[in-house]
Amino acid sequence: MTTFDERPPRFAVSVSVVSALIAVVLTLPGGPMAFAIAAVGLTVFATGAYRGHRVLVSIGGLVIVGGALVSAAFGAPVATVLAAMGSAFVAWDVGEYGIGLGLQVGHAARSRHAVVTHTAGSAIVAGVTTIVGILVFSVGPGGRPFSALVFLLVGAVALAIALTE
Amino acid sequence: MTVRRTNRWRGVTAITFLAIAVGVLTGRPAAVLAGGIGVAYAAFAARSEPPVPTLDIDRTVSTTAPADGESVAVTLTIQNDDGFIPDLRLVDGVPESLDVVDGAPRIATSLRAGRTATFSYTLEVTRGSHSFDPITALTRDASGALERETAMSVESTIECTPRLQDIGEFPLRTSTVRRVGTVPTNDAGSGVEFHAVRDYRPGDPLSRVDWRRLARTGTMSTVEFRRERAASIVTVIDAREQSRVSGPDARPLIDYCVRAAGGVAATRLDAGDRVGAASFGPYWEWTPPGLGRDHRERLSRSLALDDGYATHPPDRRFLGGLVFRRLRKNLPSDAQVVWCSPLLDDDVVRYLRRLEATGHAVTVISPDATGGTTPGQQLATIERTMRIRRLRQTGIRVVDWDLTTSLPLAIAGARRGWRR
């Protein structure tokens, strides 16, 4: 067969980079350090997404997540922290998805529909969780002990680990 | 059908723990809640169930009888006969012998129940029979944690049978068979070329009386013409490994050999001779000399589609002695041989000289793939030239075909050195 272009399809790259950019912008309320970290993460992420390097995409995504957490540490509102986290996850999901597509189906093949469906699914998961998180926060502390929240989450994580096995 | 893990969500729970740690250390509930997103994705991935594809796939090729070098468009239509498939990737089984020149034979899509997706791409067709391999279908669920690979078979074959192309004149050598035809012999008989005049015998046809002589000298005489006989020709294509060397346009030399054989067949069949074909290689092919439109069709199809003349490298051993004996056994005793070979080894010279010695007049058409500046290439050129000279010394005619010119031109050039 003729040459096979393994680069990720352009549409997937664009969607993932835009999503990462949104995440970076959403770290601003957390101060300049959070933003700087997230911005570095964005550069690494975008390079990896465009070139088709899974490792760079994962590292970049992780650094953006780090930026979101730093913004939380510096007192950013819950809504922006959760939205930033959600966007970072969507960015990583679609970015890695695009790289997988490039390897299996190639740059030249039609893939837009698949990317759209996948992005929608990912965005729903991130979006619903963000909204639930915001609701929990607004309804929650004030009176509730903070540690209860932590234990709830640890329990949920343990369940999640059990489910993935 | 195989199901495998993509492991793309590995590490998501680690991120969740990291978020919780940051939240606890800094006393910010927002960070802890951010960990909840990781939990959500982990749960999302845990419910992974890649669908079993039930697809109705249809493949259409734009032309049913493409010409050599023509581009055809292949279109695939996929209908989802079962439930929603969020992530469907298809890779078409393009035949290895064909190149994709436009588009891509792959697609990634998501198909709701009952919906259809199509994609198409362009192939460049070459001589031969090309069958499609099974299609690979990869399905995933929305999270992409597991992937299912299925092979789906949609049979299609593209057959390219180039027409035998007339190459103008191709003079044969002077050994013949007993049918009337176009090869002049040194016998007297009926024909069109003047041979001799003899005394008139009662019973000679009046159309052959030399009336001019009668008018001049008053004696009755009969003109005799050279008896023309039909020839029986077998074109032999050298299909050994040496013929897989590439010519100027990246096509293997066997293609040129087949083209030359087809051209000789077309020309000589038109002239009324009987023509057959044989493959001298790992795959034995034999078409005995014959006449007529049906035979021409059969010859054309055989040269285009049979394994013995195919361009793909052979995966069988070649046993020269056995094949040569088989060829000798099948050759009609009065048949001429037109041997098409690049002459890149010495064995072929031995075979040809033996054929010539056992009474089969041999003419060789040899596409020239040598030429080049490296010492190895120059040596190859010299060796080939010497082989041609050795063949000519035994009376074998050789058409040294420079591939930058056409075959008719090469034949015309070679003819100048041929005697009757």
Predicted confidence (pLDDT) per residue in B78-87, tens digit: 999 988 999 9
Question: Which backbone phi and psi does B6 adopt, to 5 degrees?
Answer: -90, -20
Query: At which residue do the structure tokens 């909204």 appear?
Result: A131
Q: Do A118 and B103 touch (CB under 8 A)?
A: no
Query: At which residue do the structure tokens 């500046």 appear?
Result: B373
With CA atoms as reference, report the closest residue to A160 among B181, B379, B13: B13
Separation between Cα atoms, residue A91 and residue B370, nearest integer Å: 57
Regarding beta strands B274-280 and B232-238, do their DSSP bridges make them parallel or antiparallel, or are they unpaired? parallel
Q: Do A118 and B142 touch (CB under 8 A)?
A: yes
The Cα of B29 is separated from the nearest Cα of chain A by a number of Å equal to 7
Per residue in B281-301, pLDDT (tens digit) is 999 999 999 988 999 999 999
Q: Do A104 and B46 touch (CB under 8 A)?
A: no
pLDDT for res B196? 73
DSSP per-residue codes, B287-322? EEEE-HHHHHHHHHHHHHH-GGG-SSPP-S---HHH
Residue B178, pLDDT > 70, answer no
Contact A52, A13 (CB under 8 A): no
Other C-beta atoms closer than 10 Å to the C-beta of B277 total: 29
Separation between Cα atoms, residue B102 and residue A2, nearest integer Å: 10
Other C-beta atoms closer than 10 Å to the C-beta of B55 total: 20
Q: Give the residue-averaged pLDDT of A61-70.
A: 94
pTM of the predicted protein model: 0.77
Q: What percent of chain B has pLDDT over 70?
A: 93
**Amino acid at site B49:** E
Q: Give the residue-averaged pLDDT of B38-52.
A: 85
Contact B160, B310 (CB under 8 A): no
B227 vs B178: which has the higher pLDDT: B227
Residue B47, pLDDT > 80, answer no
- List C-alpha distances in Å: B224 to A71, B45, B210, B218, B221: 113, 97, 10, 19, 10
pLDDT band per the 50, 70, 90 thresholds, residue B194: low
DSSP SS3 for B21: helix
**Amino acid at site B149:** E
Contact B16, B38 (CB under 8 A): yes
A69 contacts in B (CB within 8 Å)? 18-19, 22, 31, 34
Q: Do B41 and A89 touch (CB under 8 A)?
A: yes
If you measure CA to CA, which chain B residue comes closest to A115?
B109
Per residue in B92-135, pLDDT (tens digit) is 999 988 999 999 999 999 999 999 999 999 999 999 999 999 99
Q: What is the DSSP letter of B152?
A: E
Q: Do B104 and A106 touch (CB under 8 A)?
A: yes
pLDDT band per the 50, 70, 90 thresholds, residue B73: very high
pLDDT for res B112? 92
Separation between Cα atoms, residue A46 and residue A63, nearest integer Å: 12
Residue B323, pLDDT > 80, answer yes
Residue B227, pLDDT > 60, answer no
Q: Give the residue-averaged pLDDT of A104-108.
A: 91
Q: What is the distance of C-alpha B64 from the center of its chain?
A: 17
Q: Choose the closest CB to B100 out of A1, A126, A164.
A: A1
If you measure CA to CA, which chain A residue comes closest to B105?
A109
DSSP per-residue codes, B46-107? HT--PPPP-EEEEEEES-SSPPTT-EEEEEEEEEE-SS-EEEEEEEEE--TTSEEEEE-SEE
Contact A54, A102 (CB under 8 A): no
pLDDT band per the 50, 70, 90 thresholds, residue B176: very low
Separation between Cα atoms, residue B42 and residue A164, nearest integer Å: 7
Separation between Cα atoms, residue B201 and residue B184, nearest integer Å: 24
Q: Do B36 and A129 touch (CB under 8 A)?
A: yes
If you measure CA to CA, which chain B residue comes closest to A102?
B108
Separation between Cα atoms, residue B142 and residue B184, nearest integer Å: 80
With CA atoms as reference, report the closest residue to B42 among B77, B2, B5, B10: B10
Contact B366, B341 (CB under 8 A): yes
Separation between Cα atoms, residue A13 and residue A97, nearest integer Å: 9
Residue B167, pLDDT > 90, answer no
Contact B399, B374 (CB under 8 A): no
Q: What is the distance of C-alpha A81 from the center of its chain?
A: 12
List Cβ neighbours of B67 (8 Å cut-off, separation of 6 or more).
Answer: B125, B160, B162
∠ CA A138-A140-A145, nearest 5°, is: 145
**Amino acid at site A87:** S
Which residues of chain A from 14 to 53 reach within 8 Å of chain B, CB to CB? none
pLDDT band per the 50, 70, 90 thresholds, residue B183: low
